[in-house]
A and B are shown apart, each in its own frame.
Chain A
């Protein structure tokens, strides 16, 4: 059922985006047909080329994704069991067009508002959005004495070419966003799942938004506590990070195997005697192991 569901969705996706079945090698794959990692593998096998030329990703974004990979998988590429089993795909997009609109204000810590355009062509019809964040980084590592409170104003726009849609079609979202910036902190995330979910679900190919971030001194902080104001010019325009669940048959569904794997303790319980240990001994063991763990 997993495979058939995935295939029906792929088929549905195919009508939507006229993408070929990733496995069908019956006709030459062209640009539009690459829907994920495996079909480029088949494309290479099929036409023997070492892959088409690719745009080089932003170096900061690549560094972030390499760290994410090390968190989620071993050196051999085996997914670690400690990561969330619900998403098996994470995509990072760098804005293909950035335009600064209003200049930032050093005193109030408001970041210059930027227009961002993200091209989501690589998101396939079988990838369901679970979470999306705007990923901010500082151009160089700076440290702050304590938490910083920020308000993020996000305006989602219709793409430029649909100018006939009146401006009221733009939807604006205000986020009261609180985040903790510690020493040598390089990244922070703004969760934008709510406004983006309908756009990704409707297979929007590009998302146009303007983001305005205003950060102010921590509450109750006297001015001496800050050796330098929140230097907003150090912020690099954000990337867009999508956490997705690929429902196709060839994707790994860790939650699926978690749910249907019987735990040894269950098996011991079923055998009765094995799991029963004397209260005293069990609790002593419990305490010792927890102390050991601590």
Chain B
């Protein structure tokens, strides 16, 4: 799975996710696709999110929309909201991660796997690529 989230100079957010699913999947399974609300979500009032991982758990936890709701309604920051939803996914038995950009341009990664291929950049000069947890 690959994904991106962005905030442009006008303050608009967007999110996108694209995936090949899982090896050997059958029966027209679509639970591992990035369903809107679970794997992908964007709301200028809060954040934009793209997820990767065992999709069915992200559906059941309502991960992407849940992160935005926690930020908008409970005032959580992007990292705290993302961490909480990834913990919930893990408690159900799922794994994976999310990338988040907030309405104010803050970016966050959260994942419960040993690594996630990831990167981020901004207008201030941040430019980083990482793979493993540390």
**Do A and B interact with each other, yes or no?**
no
